[in-house]
């Protein structure tokens, strides 16, 4: 048997360099490169292997600036590639590894392939406790990397060289399986990384992982067809599975042929053009009036590639009590939700099979002109939101507010932009095919409602984990995935402060990204939530400590554009619409990364549109507002489905 005498790290790098995927007849390399921040637990093992392979292997090295950030960058890269190309991420032991746990959870929740290769404590335990090693008195085998177990779809520790082979084959199996993909952790003890072994040559052969389109069984299709043929007013939910399956055209053809409207989840948005006659836009807690109005009338809900989160279903409250569910999903766990009649399979293959069956039955829905009417009503509302200004007729869209918050903001930060007019302006004054990335705060809700695009896969929103800090790093990942496109991070000031490190990596790589900071001087989304539910205005605005000993003093006035300039980006400042338009045009002309600092008025984000969200509202309140919130919460629970 032919063998190759390599260290474990050298064998790992060579193995990764020979992994390919095939989808729809197109074969491409799966692992683009490796992102790391070297520490003592990985630099002499994996670092040596990457250095030695620079001229002979096809893996690119990326130097991260924060372990969580570089893992989000890798996730954004994989998402923008529709999960068919990855950047592996490695770290030292201890804090470097622990920093990636959040990113692992984020990737797993969103079913995005993310390969994590953290260094680990010595397998021999001879130097225990080695620098950065976590010790537990009850178990010598536990290290920081065990924290990855609950947030990964596959986990392994390579304690002997020969274990690398089975571990990596399993890792690639999970990473390339659309039904179960997510974060994968293969922990590498730092002594084992450098151990040499005679690996069989066939371990390094070119492997092509075929991503296929499973078709539902005839029995499943019969059951689904029975429900659909009895439906008068069906509604489709377009989930992320439509995007990753590249089933947008099939869904459009299906819905238009049978006059079935569809609403978009955050992950499904931009899989089908916004201009499609059947596209109602965002649905659920962050949905618009068109999708939510139609949803309440629908008698059958057809979920395509969605995991049916609480935001999509409005905490299982949005739909008629007698509405039936049909789930088309490649994953059985998601397919069986809400007592649905389901068909297991690829989104595109499932839709095409149902298209043939419904066509044979000459099916048409009974919606009539209700779809066009709902879309027009929302268009009228959109135009009002786009024209919403701070003037003599100003009022807060979100009524839960501290009377002084808006006046303080104008006086301290000088901003008079409303969030909805700013969003409309950004959309109207950027390239139609630009990629926009977001994740947390009030922006995902506003964007799911207001953002319209016909450019495929240009809406890149992480909202399964709603992970603050994803935005800027993932924007770099999206840019690396498609360097020809302009990319924009849509980020609140809170998220910017939490994690902006990979802006430096973007500058280092010469990859232009545009960071649009919506600064409302605080965690505005959660401020709305607490004040709407009777908590008061507590701990969610960025205020100095006041004379009363509380965080009740002056608002902070932070120059985010200046921060970007200090890092090497071009900075633009916008306090009003005129300055915003100048900033957007200036950013287009720049060849380097930009930071656009928008001072956006609090309480000027969208609100409501006929949805409800179950929250843990206090049953014992000291305010009238709190008592009302608890009553509304209890009434909503009575209407919502229990599982």
pLDDT at 1 over 90: no
The answer to whether position 76 is within a domain reads yes
The radius of gyration of the chain from alpha carbons, rounded to an integer in Å, stands at 25
pLDDT exceeding 90 applies to what percent of the chain? 92
CA 208 – CA 202 distance, rounded (Å): 14
Q: What is the CATH number of the domain that holds 274?
A: 3.40.50.1220
- Using the CB atoms, write b or e for 220-252: b if 16+ within 10 Å: bbebbbebbeebebbbbbbbbbbbbbbbbebbb
Judge whether 461 lies within some domain: yes
Is 533 contained in some domain?
yes
Q: Give bridge partners of residue 36 from the DSSP assignment.
A: 63, 90
Same domain, yes or no, for 422 and 361?
no
Q: Are residues 372 and 391 in the same domain?
A: no
Residue 630 belongs to some domain of the structure: no
Is 155 found in the same domain as 54?
yes
Q: How far apart are the first and last CA of the chain?
A: 56
Which of 356, 377, 398 corresponds to the end of one domain? Answer: 377
In 3D space, the residue among 528, 506, 524, 526 whose CA is nearest the CA of residue 515 turns out to be 506
Q: Domain of 338? A: 218-377
In terms of Cβ atoms closer than 10 Å to its own Cβ (0-12, 13-18, 19+), residue 297 is middle
For residues 67 and 71, give the distance between their C-alpha atoms in angstroms, rounded to a whole number.
6
Evaluate whether residue 629 is within a structural domain. no
Q: In what order do the strands lie in the sheet with 26-29?
A: 26-29, 19-23, 207-211
- Residues 462 and 580 both lie in one domain: yes
> Which residues, including other chains, have CB under 8 Å from residue 440's CB and lie 6 or more apart?
463, 466, 467, 468, 470, 471, 492, 495, 525
Specify the length of the chain in residues.
643
Q: pLDDT confidence of 622, banded at 50, 70, 90?
A: confident
Domain co-membership, 183 together with 254: no
Same domain assignment for residues 18 and 123: yes
- What domain count does the chain have? 3
Q: Would you tell me the crossing angle of helices 419-428 and 443-450 to the nearest 10 degrees?
A: 50
Q: Is the pLDDT of residue 400 over 70?
A: no
- pLDDT confidence of residue 55: 87
Q: Are 239 and 330 in contact (CB under 8 A)?
A: no
- Residue-wise pLDDT tens digits, 29-77: 999 999 999 999 999 999 999 999 988 889 999 999 999 999 999 999 9
Write down the pLDDT at residue 632: 92
Residues 411 and 357 in one domain: no
pTM of the model: 0.97
CA 149 centroid distance within chain: 21
208-261 pLDDT per residue, tens: 999 999 999 999 999 999 999 999 999 999 999 999 999 999 999 999 999 999
Structural domain contains residue 382 = no
Residue 618 counted as domain residue: no
How confident is the model over 406-423, as a mean pLDDT? 93
Residue 358 has pLDDT above 90, yes or no: yes
CA dist 431 → 485, 488, 596, 615 (Å): 9, 11, 16, 38
Q: Which of 377, 402, 430 is the last residue of a domain?
A: 377
Q: Are residues 163 and 290 in the same domain?
A: no
In 361-431, alpha helices (H): 370-386, 405-413, 419-428
Q: 3-class SS at 124?
A: coil
What pLDDT digit, counting tens, does each position of 130-140 carry? 999 999 999 99
- pLDDT over 70 at 519, yes or no: yes
Checking if the pLDDT of 595 tops 70, the result is: yes
Same domain assignment for residues 234 and 360: yes
Predicted confidence at residue 395, as pLDDT, reads 85
Check whether 402 has a pLDDT greater than 70.
no
344, 359, 377 - which closes a domain: 377
**What span, in angstroms and rounded, lies between the C-alpha atoms of 351 and 58?**
38
pLDDT at 433: 97
In a domain, 465, yes or no: yes
Residue 537's domain is classified under what CATH number? 3.40.50.970
> Does 487 share its domain with 362?
no
Residues 515 and 545 in one domain: yes
* pLDDT computed for residue 372 by the predictor: 97
Are 196 and 269 in the same domain? Answer: no
pLDDT at 416 over 60: yes
């Amino acid at each position: 048997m032919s063998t190759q005498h390599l260290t474990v790290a050298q064998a790992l790098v060579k193995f990764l360099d020979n992994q390919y995927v095939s989808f729809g007849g197109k074969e491409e390399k799966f692992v683009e490169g490796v992102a790391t921040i070297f520490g003592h637990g990985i630099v002499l093992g994996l670092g040596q292997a990457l250095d030695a392979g620079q001229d002979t292997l096809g893996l690119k090295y990326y130097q991260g600036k924060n372990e969580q950030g570089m893992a989000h960058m890798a996730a954004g890269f994989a998402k923008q590639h529709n999960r068919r190309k990855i950047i592996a991420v490695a770290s030292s032991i201890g804090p470097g590894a622990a920093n990636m746990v959040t990113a692992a959870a984020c990737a797993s929740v969103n079913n995005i392939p993310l390969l994590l290769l953290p260094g680990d404590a010595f397998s021999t335990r001879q130097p225990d406790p080695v620098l950065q090693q976590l010790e537990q008195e009850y178990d010598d085998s536990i290290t920081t990397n065990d924290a990855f177990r609950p947030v990964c779809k596959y986990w392994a520790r390579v304690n002997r060289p020969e274990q690398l082979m089975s571990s990596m084959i399993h890792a690639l199996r999970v990473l390339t399986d659309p039904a179960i993909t997510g974060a994968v952790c293969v922990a590498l003890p730092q002594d084992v990384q450098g151990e040499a072994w005679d690996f069989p040559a066939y371990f390094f052969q070119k492997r092509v992982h075929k991503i296929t389109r499973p078709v539902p069984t005839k029995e499943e299709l019969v059951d689904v067809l029975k429900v659909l043929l009895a439906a008068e007013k069906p509604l489709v939910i377009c989930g992320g599975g439509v995007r990753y399956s590249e089933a947008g055209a099939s869904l459009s053809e299906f819905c238009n042929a049978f006059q079935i409207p569809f609403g978009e989840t955050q992950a499904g948005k931009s899989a089908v053009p916004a201009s499609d006659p059947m596209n109602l836009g965002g649905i659920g807690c962050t949905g618009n009036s068109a999708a939510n109005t139609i949803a309440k009338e629908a008698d059958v809900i057809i979920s395509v590639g969605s995991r049916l989160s609480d935001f999509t279903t409005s905490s299982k409250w949005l739909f008629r009590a007698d509405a039936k569910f049909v789930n088309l999903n490649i994953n059985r766990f998601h397919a069986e939700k809400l007592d649905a009649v389901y068909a297991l399979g690829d989104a595109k293959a499932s839709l095409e099979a149902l298209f043939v069956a419904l066509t044979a039955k000459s099916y048409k829905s009974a919606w009539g002109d209700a779809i066009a009417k709902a879309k027009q009503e929302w268009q009228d509302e959109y135009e009002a939101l786009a024209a919403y200004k701070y003037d003599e007729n100003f009022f807060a869209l979100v009524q839960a507010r501290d009377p002084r918050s808006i006046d303080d903001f104008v006086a301290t930060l000088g901003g008079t932009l409303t969030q909805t007019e700013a969003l409309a302006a950004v959309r109207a004054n950027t390239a139609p095919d630009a990629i926009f990335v977001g994740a947390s705060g009030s922006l995902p809700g506003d964007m799911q409602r207001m953002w319209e695009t016909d450019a495929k896969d240009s809406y890149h929103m992480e909202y399964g984990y709603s992970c603050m800090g994803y935005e800027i790093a993932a924007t770099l990942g999206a840019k690396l995935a498609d360097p020809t496109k302009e990319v924009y991070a849509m980020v609140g000031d809170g998220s910017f402060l939490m994690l902006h490190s990979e802006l430096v990596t973007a500058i280092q790589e010469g990859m232009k990204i545009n960071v649009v900071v919506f600064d409302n001087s605080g965690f505005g989304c959660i401020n709305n939530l607490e004040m709407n539910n009777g908590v008061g205005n507590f701990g969610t605005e960025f205020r100095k400590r006041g004379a009363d000993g509380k965080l009740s003093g002056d608002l902070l006035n932070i120059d985010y554009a200046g921060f970007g300039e200090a890092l090497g980006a071009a900075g633009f400042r916008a306090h009003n619409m005129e300055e915003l338009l100048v900033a957007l045009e200036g950013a287009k002309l720049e060849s380097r990364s930009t930071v656009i600092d928008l001072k956006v008025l609090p309480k000027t984000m969208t609100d409501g549109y006929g949805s409800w969200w179950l929250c843990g509202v206090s049953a014992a309140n000291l305010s009238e507002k709190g008592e009302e919130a608890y009553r509304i919460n209890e009434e909503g629970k009575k209407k919502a489905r229990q599982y």
